[in-house]
Amino acid sequence: MKNRRARAIAATRKQTTSWLPWLAGSALAIGGALIASGALAQDDVIIEDHGYSNFGELKYAADFEHLDYVNPDAPRGGEISISGNNTFDSFNLYATVGVAAALPTIYYETVLTSTADDAYGVYCFLCTTMEYPESRDWVIFNIRDDVTFSDGSPMTAHDVDFSFRLFQEQGISEYRTAVDGYIDTVEVLDDYTIKFTFTEEAPRRDVLGFAGGTPVFSKAWFEETGARLDESSDVPFLGSSPYVLESVDFGRQIIVARNPDYWGYDHPMNIGRNNFDRIRVEYFADRTAAFEGFKAGEFTFRSESSSLIWATGYDFPALNDGWVVRDEIPDGSIGRAQSFVFNLDREKFADPRVREAIRLMFNFEWSNETLFYGLYDRVNSFWENSALEARGVPTEAEIALLQPLVDEGLVDASILTGEPVMAPTSSNRALDRANLRRASELLDEAGWVVGDDGLRAKDGEVLSVEFLEYSPGFDRIVNPYVENLIRLGIDASLNRVDVAQYTELRRTGDFDMVNHGFQMGLEPGNSLRQWYGSETADDSSRNLMRLRSEAVDRLLPAVIEARELEDLTTATHALDRVLRAEGFWVQQWFKAVDTIAYYDMYRYPEGLASANMPNLSGSGVLDFWWYDAEAGAALEEAGAFR
């Protein structure tokens, strides 16, 4: 380590790259480690550690043996199978062309990683340690020298550098736009040491996680194959993860297999994880067809998203015979803010009164009782079910952020004294007449009046609303909403297309309203620019509503640049209030449990059902569950599977 630091001191640079950085806020938490260990220059305090946390201590010490929530003795072996919907034609998640296959990132790893039970901690994974000054003007990653790609070739700092260059040159424009100006230089100091130097403008809470959060690809593989990040690919890129593609039948099936020569099985982060020998994905035309396949044993694990099926469909022989387990596991993560969003580039949606009228006609209460069997709660916040959700009247600290926006006329003064905007409530009848009257008043005020044909028009244009969808399972939800809008005098319709058309129309902004899910983190950072920044409105997979709000843009830096947890919480509350006041969504629902079913040959660690691990997704099934070989053999003998 001393030799590496000496090389840094001497500025021995084998490769230097100037950067316009590419990647929008990593899903990793952001922050700084705690142990001072040297000086790079006079009076500079250098921190060296195995990870960092912006807020508080790291949970896991450098010599930890395994994560607390895994079973370190979990056996490795067996197969788990899941379902995919519709089709796919590419393995490249990072391009704007093609429909990516399921599990698109399972083949890749990053220099830094996070855990499910340390909300703010980030840890070295492909590195042994990281070094940086208190100013966070730069970071050095000391890359492990035992990491190999799936073909057995060594991974080096040159591959890390190449991956950054690749995204900078070929990555999706929304990523580059969101973090333009983060990186000054990237220097490969030797084969296993790489240094990132940040610009003065780069938010210091984001920079370390940004530098360490890039998927690392094989430079040699890209050069040999001529693959590009901005094109579809019929094979995964070469990465270093435990899983490799075993076989593919395009549009029908994917099988990934655990690589027996994977470099990292003994890494403390991996003990008790990556336990299945094979993961099989069977594709079906829709979720109803997939459910029939699950009942017949064509695949073995199902995460149930249909309230109708969950409430009424789980009465079939495999369940009644005890072959299938039906389970609910609490989910402590931030509630996914699922919604319909307006395309704000449509002139007819520019008037907030029009959007509010349309919002009033979605009857969640009736839908939840009649269609969802009372299984859901209403979404109100972009940080639902967390401490970052704005509640009640603003605090003095929030008002300090909001007052300038009010003074400049960017938001209404009511935001300073009232509770945050909540979703409309309705009666238990499909058409709430009070909401119908209020919506009619709003449209009349906006100049959309009812003509002799019963349709509302303004300046000769009929007010129409088309919902873009691809899943037949959503018809029963959208159609009652469409009927309510028609009663209001709006020419409403549902346009259901295939998944390829759906993906393309969403990407190009060729829609009126579309489903969207806002998945926020406990430590919101620069990725917020992708979700809500005006600079990404023209080309973003996250800012689908094409939001261009000066008020939101003004608040984003307060969140991104917050250095104390209290300041981050205050700024996020203020942002949540302003986003909700913008009214670009029709809130749908969320549930605080994962509803799952599986053939009774899979096991998970004791306590998971009562744990509050906020970063888990899908109950961690592909992460730290395992296969019970004895139970699997019994099911096989009983004829549980096709």
Give the phi and the psi of residue 64 in degrees, each rounded to 5: -65, 150
Res. 116 pLDDT band, cuts 50 70 90: confident
Q: Contacts by 42-48 with C-beta closer than 8 Å and gap 24+?
A: 44/133, 45/133, 45/134, 46/5, 46/131, 46/132, 46/133, 47/131, 47/132, 47/133, 47/134, 48/1, 48/129, 48/130, 48/131
pLDDT of residue 174: 73
Q: What is residue 533's DSSP assignment?
A: -
pLDDT at 296: 95
SS3 call for 91: coil
Please state the separation of Cα 136 from the chain's center in Å. 26
| Helix/strand/coil percent split, the chain, to 5 | 30, 20, 50
- Cα angle value 608/111/533 (rounded, 5°): 85
pLDDT at 178: 66
Residues of the chain with pLDDT > 70, as a percent, come to 91
Distance CA 474, CA 372 (A): 12
Among 187-196, 238-247, 445-454, 530-539, the range scoring the smallest mean pLDDT is: 530-539
Half-sphere exposure for 381 (CA within 13 Å, toward CB)? 22
Taking alpha carbons only, the member of 244, 238, 239 closest to residue 224 is 238
Assess contact for 8 and 189: CB atoms under 8 A: yes
Q: Which two tokens stand for residue 62?
A: 């450098």
pLDDT at 610: 52
Cα-trace Rg, the chain: 26
- For residue 255, pLDDT beyond 80: yes
User: CA angle at residue 399 from 394 to 403, to 5 degrees?
Assistant: 135
CA-to-CA dists, residue 80 to 83, 297, 600, angstroms: 11, 12, 11
pTM recorded for the entire structure = 0.87
Quick check: 613 pLDDT over 70? Answer: no
Contacts of 542 (CB under 8 A, 6+ apart): 174, 530, 531, 536
CATH number of 337-460+473-488+511-590: 3.10.105.10
- Rounded CA separation 493/471 (Å): 15
pLDDT at residue 43, rounded to an integer: 54
- Residue 368: both structure tokens together: 């939840």
Domains 2-225 and 337-460+473-488+511-590 are alike in CATH topology: no
d(CA 559, CA 402) in angstroms, rounded, equals 13
- Where does 2-225 sit in CATH, by number? 3.40.190.10
Comparing CA positions, the residue from 329, 403, 420, 363 lying closest to residue 609 is 329
Q: Which residues share a beta bridge with 123? A: 51, 113
User: What does the alpha-carbon distance between residue 559 and residue 532 come to, in Å, rounded to a whole number?
Assistant: 12
In which band, very low, low, confident or very high, does the pLDDT at 152 lie, cut at 50, 70 and 90?
A: very high
The answer to whether 195 and 135 are in contact (CB under 8 A) is no
User: How high is the pLDDT of residue 274?
Assistant: 97
Distance of alpha carbon 26 from the chain centroid: 10
Q: What are phi and psi of 326, to 5 degrees?
A: -110, 120
Categorise residue 118: left if φ over 0, alpha if ψ from -120 to 50, beta otherwise: beta
Pick the range with the lowest mean pLDDT from 38-42, 309-313, 337-341, 543-547. 38-42
pLDDT, residue 96, reads 83
More confident residue, 15 or 632: 632
Q: Which residue has the higher pLDDT, 92 or 177?
A: 92
Note the pLDDT tens digit of each residue in 358-382: 999 999 999 999 999 999 999 999 9
Query: Can you read off the two tokens belonging to residue 330?
Result: 């609490």
SS3 of 410-462: CCCHHHHCCCCCCCCCCCCCCCCHHHHHHHHHHHHHCCCEECCCCCEEECCEE
Give the pLDDT of residue 213: 93
Region 148-166 average pLDDT? 96
Q: What is the pLDDT of residue 123?
A: 98
Instruction: Report the run of H or E that residue 338 belongs to, with start and end.
Output: strand 337-342
Q: What is the mean pLDDT of residues 386-405?
A: 97
Most confident option among 236-250, 283-297, 494-508:
236-250
**Alpha-carbon span 120 to 528, nearest angstrom:** 17
Q: What are phi and psi of 417, to 5 degrees?
A: -125, -15
For residue 53, how far is the Cα from the chain centroid?
21
Residue 20 has pLDDT above 50, yes or no: no
pLDDT score at 10: 38
Name the one residue in this structure whose structure tokens are 């299945």. 276
The residue written with tokens 């790609």 in the block is 149
Q: Is the pLDDT of residue 1 over 70?
A: no
Three-state DSSP string of 100-166: ECCCCCCCCCECEECCCCCCCEEEECCEEEEEEECCCCEEEEEECCCCECCCCCECCHHHHHHHHHH
- The owner of tokens 């997939």 is 290
Burial 152-187 (b: 16+ CB within 10 A, else e): eebbbbbbbbbbbebbbebbbebbbbbbbebbbbbb
Cα 597 from Cα 73, distance rounded (Å)? 24
pLDDT above 70 for 574: yes
pLDDT at 27: 32
pLDDT of residue 186: 94
The model's pLDDT over 478-488, given as tens digits with 9 standing for 90+, comes to 999 999 999 99
> What ranges do the domains of the chain cover?
2-225, 285-332+593-642, 337-460+473-488+511-590
Please, are residues 197 and 187 in contact by the beta-carbon 8 Å criterion?
yes
Answer with the residue of higher pLDDT: 19 or 504: 504
Asked if the model's pLDDT at residue 35 lies above 80, the reply is no
- Whether the CB-CB separation of 282 and 347 falls below 8 Å is answered with no
- Average pLDDT over all residues of the chain: 89
Give the strand pairing for 449-450 and 377-378.
Answer: unpaired
- What average pLDDT does the segment 202-228 reach? 95
The residue among 354 and 43 whose pLDDT is bigger is: 354
